[in-house]
Structure 1
Amino acid sequence: MGEGSLLPTSNGIHTHLLPVEGALREHVRALVAVEVERGGPIPLAIAPHDSVMLSVQFGRGADCIENKSEHGQNTHVTGIRRWTGSFAGAGDCVSLFAALTPLGAMHLLDSQPLETVPRIRARMADLLDRRLTRELESEVALADGLDAKLRALAKWLEERACLQRCQAPAALRAGRAAMQLCAEPNVPIEALAQRQHVGRRQLERDFARYVGTSPRHLAQVARLQGVARKGQRGAALADIAADLGYADQAHMSRTVRQMTGLTPLQFVRTQRTPIAAAFRAATGGGAVYL
């Protein structure tokens, strides 16, 4: 792994980024660590984004592994969201995040269907053998400092990514199509299905079962993140709307407001917390936390 990036501390919140390299590039979009020194509640909002989020969270005190939950139960998965949600963070904790690509989620979660998994903080021990999450949490907890903890998570993910094991063909089909859709949100669903050598209805069923959402919704989310990234690079809103396939700027504004409650300009500029800024930096301008 290359050099990590420790971002400026603000309001007792430390953030650290690690570049995604090697075998992880196809599986992980971003690696972010956050340490919150103060107690909650901390108001946070999370936007729809085109990653399945794997997170590990500990307390900061003694017995940190079981400070928040039982050993093996501190690792969670959050699926593709439908709209922006708000919640109050507990604070006084260390949280590690790996933003998994759709194909990465299929590989790293052993083709587990996400259809019935809660989109918000599902326990990974309910998807995989709890021995795996206990092993991960032990390695992360024993590492000293945010950089070392994030490297321990990256190492665990890389080992799973390189492990040869059988995967469900339908899961891989959905993962590959989802990757294409994230890169080309305007591609017709029929074209995606043709590339995977199945019919449209079969691909939609695969998406529902393994990605936990529809191709149409994932395309909306990918375009939404395109607004954030292009806007962060200084593109004009009218140009962004045209580039991303919206009918016009008004159509883009309605869609962004429906999904986030914000205007496109507010959505591009919102960066109220160090956590939001860290994810902007880690995802090339994408908006995860607001």
Structure 2
Amino acid sequence: MATAPGGYAERAARLPGAVVWAKAPPAGGAGAGLVLPDGCMDLLWSEGRLLVAGPDTRAYAPGGPPAHWAGLRFFPGTAPACLGVPAHEVRDRRVDLADLWPAPAVRRLRARLEAARDPAAVLEEVALERAERAGGPDPLLRHLVAALDAGRPVAATADELGLGARRLHRRSLAAFGYGPKTLARVLRMQRALALARGGVPFAQTAVRAGYADQAHLSRDVRALCGRTPGELLRLGG
């Protein structure tokens, strides 16, 4: 996987539902764009730093000078079992991996990454190794993501899964970093932006994504991202 200057590239990972990605500095040294909430967590490598990006409840604006990045983006709800940290402990945070893993393990991974031609592939290998030891994520949570991403109501989904509201909320906090209602909002926003990027008018996008109307779409996207849908599309988000 290669990126052009200022470019971004990704591919499906061997870890189910995950994505391996790499990003080069933007042309002309411009700052990186917004990172929008998507229900995911990432394992990141950049300029000698190993980080875990927790689940976002609002858009994140990366700071610092332009840099090369490599990452593995986990399917929603699957990172905590692999990384060994409950999602709510890293919500809206970028945390040094050394604060979460034993120092020897981090040193070994850093050495592998510094010697690698494709750091993203190393992150993928490490995630696969840890996922195998962890035994995989809770299958009920994968069903929850699928149901909410299809627009199913939270209460009805909880009933279908045989979980009470409080139990579902506790498990969601550990897996996603927030409750199922927030997860549903984030997934709905991502559905809407995908439709809008594909050229669907905003009024139709709102209905198809599950909003009451276009005004509801605009309010919710602004609440999560600080921008309207139109502004995000112009920014390339």
The TM-score normalised by the length of structure 1 is 0.71
Alignment of 1:47-66 (within 5 A): 47-58=36-47, 65=48
User: Which amino acid in the other structure matches residue 143 of structure 1?
Assistant: A
In the alignment, which residue of structure 2 is the partner of 1:212?
177
CA distance in 2, matches of 1:127, 1:150: 20
CA 1:38–1:264: 2 relative to 1, 3 Å: closer
Alpha carbons of 1:119 and 1:137: their partners in 2 closer, same or farther (altered >3 Å)? same
Is 2:4 the partner of 1:31? no
Deviation at 1:203, TM superposition (A): 0.3
Question: What's the secondary structure of 2:73's corresponding residue?
Answer: strand
Identity %: 24
1:108 is matched with 82
Conserved in 1, the CA contact under 8 Å of 2:20 and 2:120? yes
Alignment correspondent of 1:280: none
Structure with greater helix share of residues:
2
Counterpart CA distance in 1 for 2:20 and 2:133 is 23
Structure 2 equivalent of residue 75 of structure 1: 50
Shift of 1:178: 4.7
In the alignment, what sits opposite 1:84? 59
Q: Equivalent residues in 2 for 1:177-196 (5 A)?
A: 177-181=143-147, 183-184=149-150, 186-196=151-161
1:4-52 deviation line (CA, Å, top 9, x unaligned):
243x32xxx3x4524214x4233x1x32223439998936432222211
* CA distance 1:269–1:31, shift in 2 (3 Å): farther
Please give the alpha-carbon distance, in whole angstroms, between the structure 1 residues aligned to 2:169 and 2:225.
25
Query: 1 CA distance for matches of 2:26 and 2:154?
Result: 46
The 2-side partners of 1:151 and 1:182 are apart by 30
**Structure with greater strand share of residues:** 1
Unaligned runs of at least 5 residues, structure 1: 59-64, 66-73, 272-286
CA distance in 2, matches of 1:156, 1:88: 27
User: Which of 86, 94, 99 does residue 68 from structure 2 map onto?
Assistant: 94
Tell me how far apart the structure 2 counterparts of residues 156 and 16 of structure 1 sit (CA, whole Å). 22
Aligned to 1:119: 92
Describe the SS at the equivalent of 1:116: helix
Over 3 Å counting, the alpha-carbon distance change for 1:55 and 1:165 in structure 2 is closer
Residues 160-175 of structure 1 mapped to structure 2, 5 A cutoff: 160-161=130-131, 163-165=132-134, 172=138, 175=141
Q: How many residues align?
A: 237
Amino acid at match of 2:73: A
Q: Contact (CA 8 Å) 2:195, 2:205: kept in 1 or not?
A: yes
Matching residue of 2:228:
263
1:174 and 1:80 map into 2 onto residues whose CA distance is 19
Task: State which of 216, 228, 232 in structure 1 corresponds to 2:197.
Answer: 232
SS at match of 1:122: strand
Contact 2:38 2:190 in 1 (8 A): yes
* Aligned-residue offset at 1:126: 2.8
Distance (whole Å) between structure 2 residues aligned to residue 129 and residue 203 of structure 1: 31
Please tell me whether the aligned partners of residues 57 and 94 of structure 1 are also in contact (alpha carbons under 8 angstroms).
yes
The residue that corresponds to 1:276 in the other structure is none
Measure how far apart 1:246 and its partner are. 0.4
Q: Secondary structure at the match of 2:90?
A: coil
Distance in 1 (alpha carbons) for counterparts of 2:106 and 2:214: 45
